Amino acid sequence: MPEVQSYRFADALASYGDARYVILGVPFDNTTSYRPGTRLGPRAIREVTYNFEPYVPAFDLDMDEVPVHDLGDLDVPVVPEAMVAQVEEAVGELLRDGKFPLLLGGEHTLTIGAVRAVRPDWYVVLDAHLDLRAEYRGTRFNHGCTNRIVYEETTQQIAIIGARSGDREQYRFARDLLFFSADEVRRLGIHEVLDEVVAAIGPGSVYLSIDADAIDCCLTPGLGTPEPFGLTHYDVRSVVERLAPLSIGFDYVEVCPIDHGQTAAVAAEVVRLFVAAHWASHGRRA
């Protein structure tokens, strides 16, 4: 599997053969429609992990006890369809090797390939944008179309949490999905929202995708497509702690490191919490 850089996630100490979780970066932002730079997100997320203690008190867990390996970044092509196919192939290989895929983006288009490979029962996405366009700027393979392609190709069981941007057609489309806007999360509280989501999922499997812009841009401004009036980082943490045990694939995308590091820091800690929550639920019994 190709890789192009030497930075590694600080907690990724296991060999590939021994690893249960494998991190893979996808530094692609070729369909970015506002501010470029999310291709630098995987590196920024990795770099800030060296700031954190390995101990995760929420799960009474030292991350160096968890078998995590970092493969580095894919050497992605410039054409989005080809990038999606490459991600699908790479994630498929991880799954065949019995690994849990953890993807770092890069723009949200990469999620299409990952979900194709994982084939979950449910796709749960935190995002400021509905991303339900049929096509955008001349292609289906655009970050603004990600959730629509997942719906059409993989699963119609989709939960969108935190969205607050989209055209009228997308909002109409979202009526057929399990959709909680950022305003609804604020009104109901994230725990009530999660109760509804978990009840809908039942015994099903989940692919969890977190777009960094789900969080209010006033809190984490390092974003390619910033939107105010969003979720808090505490909301995202609650989602991860609740849904990680149900998940069979995960990504954190759209970090654009133009700020003072706070957006990458939140992303890195959320990835660590996801791994800790999943390992505490599954790995310690394996």
Written as six digits, the tokens of 231 are: 């979720």
- Indicate whether 125 belongs to any domain: yes
Residues of the chain with pLDDT under 50: 1-5, 285-286
For residue 35, CA distances in Å to 163, 176, 221, 222, 225 come to: 19, 31, 12, 10, 7
Residue 200 falls inside a structural domain: yes
Q: pTM of the full predicted structure?
A: 0.95
Task: Please report whether residue 235 resides in a domain.
Answer: yes
Q: How far apart are CA 22 and CA 95, in angstroms?
A: 10
- Report pLDDT for 195: 98
Rounded CA-CA distance 100/112 in Å is 17
SS3 34: coil
> Is residue 117 situated within a structural domain?
yes
Which pLDDT belongs to residue 286?
42
**Domain containing 67: what range?**
21-285
- Is 8 inside a domain boundary? no
Cβ proximity of 175 and 253 under 8 Å? no
What is the model's pLDDT at position 5? Answer: 46
- Report the candidate in 20, 72, 67 with the shortest Cα–Cα distance to residue 42: 72
Q: What gap in Å lies between CA 251 and CA 225, rounded to an integer?
A: 18
Q: Please tell me whether the peptide bond between 162 and the residue prior to it is cis, using omega within 30 degrees of 0.
A: no
Question: 175 lies in a domain?
Answer: yes
Q: Compute CA distances 159 → 1, 19, 109, 197, whole Å.
A: 32, 30, 17, 7
Q: What are 6-50's pLDDT values in tens digits? A: 579 999 999 999 999 999 999 999 888 889 999 999 999 999 999
Is residue 233 included in any domain, yes or no? yes
Residue 13 lies in a domain: no
In single-letter form, the type of residue at position 156 comes to Q
Alpha-helical regions (H) of 53-167:
80-96, 110-118, 146-153
Whether residue 216 contacts residue 231, with contact meaning beta carbons closer than 8 Å, is answered with yes
Q: What span, in angstroms and rounded, lies between the C-alpha atoms of 5 and 190?
A: 37
Structural domains of the chain, count: 1
User: Residues 284, 203, 122, 254: is their CA dihedral positive or negative?
Assistant: negative
Contact 3, 73 (CB under 8 A): yes
8 A C-beta contact, residue 164 and residue 217: no
CATH code of 37's domain = 3.40.800.10
pLDDT of residue 2: 45
